[in-house]
Amino acid sequence: MTQLIILAILVVLSAMLIVYSLLPDRRQHEEKILRRMTGRKGEVPDLPIVDQNRKSAASQVMEKVAPLAMKPVMPKSDEEMSTLREKLAQAGYRSESVVRVFLASKTMLGIALAAVTLLICWTRGMEVQQLFGFAATAAGAGFMLPNAWLWMARHQRAEQIRNGLPDSLDLLVVCVESGLALDAGIQRVSEEMRHVHVELSEELQIATLENQMGVPRAEALEHMARRTGVSEMNALVAVITQAERFGTSVSKALRTQADMLRVKRKLKAEERAQKTTVKLMLPLILFIFPSIFVVLVGPAALQLYKTLGSGSLGGG
């Protein structure tokens, strides 16, 4: 039984690693987009032609299996497909093939977990109803695993962008107050934050390139807010749009927004610090308190046992 459980865990982990390896490298894909839009080739070296044309065996198999595997979980409407693409973009994956890989992984993981569960239940001699019940539960869990991964990826990337906003806004305020235009300031911030806050820098670069290609600034910033899925970014875009529309000072609006984001980040850090005490209760009760109890009470209990044992023998 233990060997079968280990086998099931290994099968699930192998399937998840294979699917994750088939996902396109989002950093490399974004660099290709930036190169294509700007026409610059010196900053990011182009991949060799052999590496571009060569595909692994897993990728070739995935290209053949994906169209069939994604049919059972295909979104029913264009709106659902757009929502899925938006969620994947918020996680940092904008390639055309990532939707196909994501949908196919749901079917593949569900089938893999169901097969492993059927094997385990069959070796244990379960009845047919129980066997198919456990298999259906495992298939549902495998079906939901990619959704859980997507939620965690979106949450992690949004948190990184949220943490980089106050510092980036401070630098943007300095750029605007020193005489740079807002577009030039955003471009400069994206270049300076490239090695500190990578995700935010990439989003600012894409917004700058959209603006250079003729997209209005307000629309480009709205696209950036939609790609990130961060509420603070939506508020920042609204502040910049209103400042430009009513003719108020953009630098003052950005400074106020930066101060508000910094206070919000501080409050969130304090909230996490307060939650630490509650989170430590479980490991304290399960692991630390029993050890302390054994160390403190153990010698006294042994001495009491010896004393009572010798007293009973002497009285007898």
Which residues, in sequence order, are CB contacts of 242 under 8 Å at separation 6+?
A: 248, 253
Q: In this predicted structure, what is the pLDDT of residue 43? A: 45
Cβ atoms 111, 142 nearer than 8 A: yes
Does residue 85 lie in a domain region? Answer: yes
Pick the closest to residue 226 from 80, 86, 84, 94 (CA basis). 86
Query: 97 and 164: one domain?
Result: no
Does residue 254 lie in a domain region? Answer: yes
Query: 96 and 24: one domain?
Result: yes
pLDDT under 50: residue ranges of the chain: 29, 36-38, 40-54
Does residue 115 lie in a domain region? Answer: yes
Per the structure, the count of domains in the chain is 2
Query: 147 and 175: one domain?
Result: no
Q: Which pTM does this prediction carry?
A: 0.70
Query: 40 and 97: one domain?
Result: yes
Range of the domain at 144: 2-45+54-154
Q: In this predicted structure, what is the pLDDT of residue 155? A: 92
Cβ atoms 183, 208 nearer than 8 A: yes
Query: 143 and 241: one domain?
Result: no
Query: 66 and 95: one domain?
Result: yes
Does residue 290 lie in a domain region? Answer: no
Judged on CB neighbours under 10 Å (0-12, 13-18, 19+), 75 is middle
Cβ atoms 67, 6 nearer than 8 A: no
Classify residue 257 by its DSSP letter: H
Query: 37 and 64: one domain?
Result: yes
CA distance 147 to 197: 26
Query: 145 and 199: one domain?
Result: no
Does residue 223 lie in a domain region? Answer: yes
Query: 133 and 169: one domain?
Result: no
Does residue 282 lie in a domain region? Answer: no
Query: 241 and 137: one domain?
Result: no
CA distance 316 to 218: 96
CA distance 251 to 46: 39
CA distance 206 to 196: 17
Q: What does the buried/exposed string (b/e) look like for 166-187 if buried means 16 or more CB atoms within 10 Å of the residue's CB? A: bbbbbbbbbbbeeebebeebbb
Pick the closest to residue 263 from 141, 166, 130 (CA basis). 166
How does pLDDT run across 91-139, given as a tens digit for each residue? 888 877 788 888 888 888 888 888 888 888 787 777 778 888 888 888 8
Pick the closest to residue 253 from 151, 159, 172, 183 (CA basis). 172
Query: 9 and 150: one domain?
Result: yes
Q: What share of the chain is helix, strand, coil (3-state, %, to 5)?
A: 80, 0, 20
